[in-house]
Structure formats: structure tokens, C-alpha cells
Amino acid sequence: MSRILITSALPYINGIKHLGNLVGSQLPSDAYARYMRARGHEVLLICATDEHGTPAELAAAKAGKPVDEFCAEMWQVQKDIADGFRLSFDHFGRSSSARNHHLTQHFAGRLAEAGLIDEVMEKQVYSNADGRYLPDRYIEGTCPNCGYENARGDQCENCTKQLDPTDLIDPRSAISGSTDLEVRETKHLYLRQSQMRDRLEAWIDSKTDWPVLTTSIAKKWLNDGDGLQDRGITRDLDWGIPVRKGDADWPGMDGKVFYVWFDAPIEYIAATAEWADATGQGDDAWERWWRTDKGADEVRYVQFMAKDNIPFHTLSFPTTIMGSDEPWKLVDYIKGFNWLLYEGGKFSTSQGRGVFMNQALDILPSDYWRWWLLSNAPESNDSDFTWESFQAGVNKDLADVLGNFVSRVTKFCRSKFGEQVPEGGAAGPREAEVTAEIAKRLKSYEANMEAIELRKAAQDLRAIWVAGNEYLQAAAPWAAFKTDPEEAAATTRFALNLARLYAVLSAPFIPDASDRILEALRASDAAWPEDLDAALTALPAGHAFTVPDVLFAKIDDDRRTELEARFAGA
């Protein structure tokens, strides 16, 4: 057994996220954590809300609430939605926590001592119409690199080039749209990432198992243009972590806060400490996950995120960790994801285009969404959510294959043998053949889950379900019962054990259905099948069960058409 630390990119606090946000980090991190727990590893799955910065202030103002009150309410909303999707976080924290304040200020002090922070008088855009400095992402304009007209002041999301607001052509306020902007001088702190370039490159080069997506983006930021640039880590805002050197004041930095992208990744550590606080375990409990002098050198640390977060997790956050010159744990593996599109375009809150997480749960149970999103995860390329594809995934995979198998075998057994596993007969060549097929598929499934290749793992899982259906169809116990009840009993007993196996294997993808099957089979304590032959005889003759309700209801064409129209947007 090993220890595995898993973190999901932090969802931003200013609103409810769409399905693309869900499949870009939180959902795959949960599936991986569930699988690793099932295999006996000690797993700690950490997430939190990202609460600082201008978007939070503006969202709170729009809601007519103080920003701290707004963030507290939205944290609960996001926590409830995460629970609704059965995201098994060991702790779901907040980047505004006291722990994160302390750790962020601590890291800043250590970086200053190491000579990795510069105080810079910089020119920053001030909006006269808005009466405030505009953070980078609240300045929009035309990208000088690719010509994209809605580039932000920190990065062009079209070509991913890192930008400064003054680089933009025809800049405007993203808040008011005003072009009445002026450049003013203000002092800020810069993280000297450029001084860490060689060290970062050597570290990235050592990660030969990273996905191509992760490595290519990191390398692009390292080598694009003039290479890795120093990065501002403070802002002129009210809401955030005050700039301090550890416990000491930072002269000349009164009224400034740390930039959200500096403090947010530190919340991974802070949230782990919050978990230890909440469970009454103390500092030793979280330090063994994060401090290599306290045992974290034995931890495998895996991060999940969408591709726009990769530069900060491969460069900026590692600079903070390495530059502190303290024994902190660095990430071992970064699983990056491409975009999930909606019917060929982008999700849009303002236009009502696409399905958001709270809406999804109002429409159908979480397993329906979990299965489609994970089996279509945007791993090597962007994925496109369409209602036609979603309908097919629910109807053909969940209802026709898994749901149909469990329903047929339990109902048949009840009608012919009662609600208990039948005795009589013995397994033969047909059972040996399907066991061998499942063993081969199971080996591939486990390998793909270990490698976090979720689409491939989903294909393996579906193939294991299909093998059971084909077995049941070929064995035809309903026909055999008329001439050879013993053979029908042996087939039914084997099929019931297949249902138990399917529930265990399916738990990382569809945990609610897994629980319902195991509950019906009175096998809630079922463990991962380290011995497949033993797993397929785990329910003995005489073992009682009940027939579960319909596991998955099909989506008919009328319902699909209605949902397409409802979420098409303005």
C-alpha cells in the first residue's frame, strides 16, 4: 500500500461551474481517488474554492452582499453540488482560510529571503469610469500575437500567449467596456521566475511520464519568445491576503494583497492542514503529506487540471515551492485536460448556452453525467458534448448493457428460484471462457486507471459489462430451465456473481449505481477482485438478494429534443 495525495484545481467562487469545469479536474480526480482507495492505497483527495481577486468582488457587488458573506454562501453552494456529484473529497476548503493567509505570507517571506522577489514600480491600467485599477484579466483587447479580439490582459485564451495589459491593442475595461483608461505607476512585488528557469526545466525534463499536453504547455511557457518571465504577485485590491513577510509588515506594501494565482495553489497545502484541524489530528497529520522531512518523500502527488491552469502548476507554484528552500513536496504527475465544448461551441453563462452543474443534477442523477463525461473526457483532444451523444451513452451503455444485465438476471432468478442464489450445477467451459475474457479486460482496465487514461478505462469497463451480456444471452438460462434446471441454476449463480463484480468495478465511474447493486445483492462489503475466480464465486448458494429498481431510465427522443432547445442559448 502506498500513500497518494490528489488535488483538483480549485473552482472559482464567483458562480456555478459548467460541465466542462467538472470534467476538467474535479470529476476525474474523484474517479482516480475512488479507484486507488479500492486498491488499498491510503488516499487524500483535496479541493477548495478559489476565493480572491476582482471577479469575487464584482460578483458580490452584483449580489448586493459583502464579499466575505458572498464567498461563504457560494462555498456552501459549490460544496453541495460537489456532494451531489458524489465527489469524494476528504476536505473541500477555502482559499480565504486563516491557514492559507498564514502559509501564503510565510512563502512570500521565504522567497524574499532567497532573493526571488523584486519590488517593482510598474505601470498599471486605471479605469476612470470604474474608479479602480483593473487586474490583468479585466482588461480586454486585441492580441498582438494572433489578432484575437477578446484577449485578456494576462493571457490570450486563443493562442495561450502570456501577455501584459499594455501589450493589448485597443484595450477596454471588461467591467464597463470603457476605453477611458490611463496608465499609472504603482509598486508591486514580482516573483523572479526567470532565476529558476534552468532548475524548472531540469525538473520538467525529469518527468518523462507526464502527458504530452502537460509537458508541451510547460515547455512553451519556458521557451516562448523571451522565455520564462518574472510574474507580478500582488494587486491593488481590498479582498485578498494582505502582503506581509511572514509575520512581519512589508514596508511600502500597505493596502495591497497577493495575486490570486500566487495564493490559490498554496491552498492545496492549507486545505490539507484544514483537514487535519477538522479531524483533530494536528500538524503531524498534514505535514506527512507535504513535508519531505516528515515522510512526504514517500507520497505520490497527482494534480488534475484543465490546460489553462498548467503553466501556473508547472512553473509558478513550483517556483514558490522550490524557491522557499524548505522541504516541501513537489508534484509527481500532472494530468491536464483539454476543453469540453457544448454542441460545437463554448459554454456561456450570459447566453444560457450549455448545462451547468446545478442544472445537470436537476435533470438526471449524477451517474448519468459521470459516465458520459468520464467516458468522453477531453484527454488527448477537445471533446464535444451533444445531446445525441449523451442520449446514446445513457441508453446504450448504462441502460441497455449494465442496467439490462442486472435486471434480467435478478428478475429471472426471482421468478424461477426465488430471491436467493440458486444451488445446483457447476461452472463449465462457458464460464471459464467468459472469466478469461474478463480477466484480460480487467488487466487493461486496471492499467488504464493506474495511468489515468480514463476514456480507455471506460471502454474496458463497458467491454466487461458486454461480456456478461453475451454470456447470459448464449447460456440462455430461461431456456435451459425447461430441460436442465441444474444448468440454469449454475448459469444464474455465475451471472449474479458477475453483477456483484460489475458493481465493484464500476464504482469509480458510477458510484450510486454501484451502491444500489451491492445493496440489492446484500454485498456492500465487496472488495476489489484481487482474485477473480474467488470474486466470481463470492455469492454462495442460498445467499439472499432483492431485485433493484430500474438502475437507468432511457432518454427518449422527445426528451432529448426538449433539452437541446432548453440549453441552446440565446
In 3D, which of 224, 234, 280 has the Cα closest to residue 120? 234
Tell me the binding residues.
Answer: 143, 146, 156, 159, 349
In 3D, which of 336, 338, 337 has the Cα closest to residue 314? 336
344 φ/ψ sector (left φ>0, alpha ψ -120 to 50, else beta): left
Distance CA 168, CA 479 (A): 74
Reduced to 3 states, what is the DSSP secondary structure of residue 514? Answer: helix
For 379, half-sphere exposure in the C-beta direction (CA atoms, 13 angstrom radius) is 19
Tell me the binding residues for Zn(2+).
Answer: 143, 146, 156, 159
Tell me the binding residues for ATP.
Answer: 349
Q: Report residue 498 as a C-alpha cell.
A: 458477475
Paired with 92 in beta bridges are: 47
DSSP code of 145? T
Distance CA 256, CA 29 (A): 34
**Which CB contacts under 8 angstroms, 24+ apart, belong to 443-451?**
445/505, 446/39, 449/32, 449/35, 449/508
**Which CB contacts under 8 angstroms, 24+ apart, belong to 475-482?**
475/430, 477/412, 477/416, 478/412, 478/416, 481/416
Alpha helical stretches, state H, 40-147: 54-63, 67-84, 98-113
Taking every pair of C-alpha atoms in the chain, what is the biggest distance, in angstroms?
A: 91
Query: What size, in residues, is the chain?
Result: 570
